[in-house]
Amino acid sequence: MATLVEDDKIRAVEQRIQRVYELPPMPELGRRILELQSDPDASVRQLADIVQLDPSLAAQVIRYASSSYYGYSGRITNIHEAIARVLGYDMVLNLTLGLAAGRSLHIPDHGPLGLTRFWEHAVCSAVLVQKLGATLPETLRPPPGLSYLCGLLHDFGILLLGHLFPPEFQLLNKMAEANPGTSVSELEQRLLGMGQAMDMLSLGHARIGAWLMQAWTMPEALQVTLMEHHNSEYRGDYDILVHLVQLADFMHLHRADLPKPSGLPKRTLSLLQLLPEQVLETSAEVFADRRELTSLSKMLMQAS
């Protein structure tokens, strides 16, 4: 937990960044989706009408719903069918919100932190967070669409770093390639003092991602998840979502050789009231569909 002195330093850095750098605005589509999200009387038709304003995005959502991953055997011909028959209102709303957010930031495709790998990790995390969330006791279970969105955008701060500071991002990307077992947070600290991005890197991708979500008035649950997804000590209103994302990150890191039950983070399992066998079984199912997940990530990358 940050001290009062640390909080003051963080606020000073944020104010300095605001004076020097212009944060990208939330795209118009995202703004409309947020308005719809806050309307308790919103309908499937209203959501479909908004998504259809962007033909390329609508086409990708239809392709997403038609993917074999969702197991729908019929033919999806329009966005209304994608919502009503396969994905559901909550899922499409959060999916399009995530894609709209991604459209405002541009980074290179290549490397372990590049756009291709970002979306691959994002989609895998989103699906895993959503599926792990569905195995929780009913009283703890977060909304599936929100779980998906938090998994999808938890590393969004990396995109902002790459968008605002291409040279430093290129160096960070090379460092990640040379140190595959090192976390992005640790690599960020190694870059402190190098180049113009010193202030931004001193905050870390988790905090600056949360900062951008706050500037865009994204859901508070998403803001907190981005802020705390590297903080294993976090306890608060959104601890279930935060620790689901942490667990998904842990499992993704060990996807090539899943750990034994005793190797899973015990405190996280206790908080989520999950058995090791549940986590391993769900993770194995998700990772078994890697080809389909890669296909889904390519669709989302094209849409963004």
* Per-residue pLDDT, 256: 86
Q: Is the pLDDT of residue 77 over 90?
A: yes
Give yes or no for a contact between 158 and 205, defined as CB atoms under 8 angstroms apart: yes
pLDDT in tens, 38-66: 999 999 999 999 999 999 889 989 998 99
Please state the rounded mean pLDDT for residues 67-76.
Answer: 88
Backbone φ/ψ region at 75: left (φ over 0), alpha (ψ -120 to 50), beta: beta
State how far Cα 46 lies from the chain centre: 25
Query: pLDDT band at 295, cuts 50/70/90?
Result: confident
Q: How far is CA 169 from CA 64, 133, 164, in A?
A: 30, 33, 9
Query: pLDDT band at 194, cuts 50/70/90?
Result: low
Q: Which residue has the higher pLDDT, 193 or 168?
A: 168
Rounded to an integer, what distance in angstroms lies between the CA atom of residue 10 and that of residue 256?
37
The structural domains of the chain, ordered by start, are 22-104 (no CATH), 108-304 (1.10.3210.10)
pLDDT in tens, 116-135: 999 999 999 999 999 999 99
* Per-residue pLDDT, 208: 87
pLDDT in tens, 134-190: 999 999 999 999 999 999 999 999 999 898 888 888 988 999 999 987 888 888 877
Q: Which residue has the higher pLDDT, 104 or 10?
A: 104
Calculate the average pLDDT of the chain. 89
Find, among 129, 198, 206, 193, the residue nearest to 160 by Cα. 206
* Per-residue pLDDT, 18: 65
Most confident of 6-15, 20-29, 175-184: 175-184
pLDDT in tens, 219-269: 999 999 999 999 999 999 999 999 999 999 999 989 988 999 999 999 999
Q: What is the 3-state secondary structure (H, E, C) of the chain?
A: CCCHHHHHHHHHHHHHHHHHCCCCCCCHHHHHHHHHHCCCCCCHHHHHHHHCCCHHHHHHHHHHHHCHHHCCCCCCCCHHHHHHHHHCHHHHHHHHHHHHHHCCCCCCCCCCCCHHHHHHHHHHHHHHHHHHHHCCCCCCCCCHHHHHHHHHHCCHHHHHHHHHCHHHHHHHHHHHHHCCCCCHHHHHHHCCCCCCCHHHHHHCHHHHHHHHHHHCCCCHHHHHHHHHCCCCCCCCCCHHHHHHHHHHHHHHHCCCCCCCHHHCCHHHHHHHCCCHHHHHHHHHHHHHCHHHHHHHHHHHHHHC
